[in-house]
Amino acid sequence: MKVAAISDLHIGPRHRGDEFCHDEDWFAEFIEQLAAEHDRLILLGDIYQTEHGLWPTRRGYHRQLMQARRRLPRVTAALGGPKCIHIAGNHDAITRDSLGALADLRMEADGMGILFVHGHQFDPLLRGPSYLLARTGTWMAGRLRHLGLQNVSQWFEDRDVALKQGKLGGPHGPYARAARQLMRTRDVSVVVMGHTHCPVHYEFAEGALINTGTCWQGQTMYISIDTTQRCIDVRAPFVSRWNALTDN
């Protein structure tokens, strides 16, 4: 079986309110080609940006989602193809109610167990007292974009990505620790995450942690897994790698 995964497109309801930055026809063709070359295409969360509206309510999130899908109909159609499986992220959590997205997905083929999960569940900044601050920051970014201050909003969002990778990423950070625990408890040899926007390929004694990277700001990153060949390919301009097959 060949499986591809992409994440973190952040498609918003309006051009000035999102970080997608792709030509619609080109990106739809990219998705269609990925689907044609693989048996499954996993949409690994934050496909849509639904938390930039004025009202931070479930109804408001649903409205943002529907507007985003109407805005890019060809991309929406490609993402809704029969091979596509949607997993919810933190910025498109409403897709679980509105589109039937999954919390995670475990699949096994050719004796290879793979778990797909967005990864925000393991972000310490989205738990406890910092959760409200993080949600407020997302809402403020949306307000800045609504006011036409896209560059200011993007600067803060880029700093957030860099901070999280610098403080939380790496082979000993919370995502890596969570992945190793999942390998043991869910009986898988590969865990695939998104969320951080930073593509990685880490090898541990328990198995591999892969991050898909991001498709926002005009970027195209994805991963491809061939279970028959037991091959993992991270398609990104720069991939953070770490190998310690006997690490404990």
Whether the pLDDT of residue 53 is over 90: the answer is no
Query: 2-243 falls under which CATH superfamily?
Result: Metallo-dependent phosphatases (3.60.21.10)
Look at residue 192 in the predicted model and tell me its pLDDT: 98
Per-residue model confidence (pLDDT) at position 247: 54
What is the DSSP secondary structure assignment for residue 98, as one 8-state letter? H
Strand segments, DSSP code E, in the chain are 2-6, 40-43, 84-86, 104-109, 112-117, 190-193, 200-203, 208-211, 222-226, 231-235, 240-243
- pTM score: 0.93
Q: What is the pLDDT of residues 23-33, one digit of tens each?
A: 999 999 999 99
Q: Long-range contacts of range 51-54, CB-CB < 8 Å, 24 or more positions apart?
A: 51/91, 51/135, 51/138, 51/139, 51/142, 52/12, 52/13, 52/17, 52/18, 52/138, 52/139, 52/141, 52/142, 52/143, 52/145, 52/146, 53/13, 53/142, 54/143, 54/146
pLDDT tens digit sequence for 78-114? 999 999 999 999 999 999 999 999 999 999 999 999 9
Whether 246 has a pLDDT exceeding 80, the answer reads no
Each residue's pLDDT tens digit, 117-134: 999 999 998 888 888 888
Bridge partners of 126, per DSSP, are none
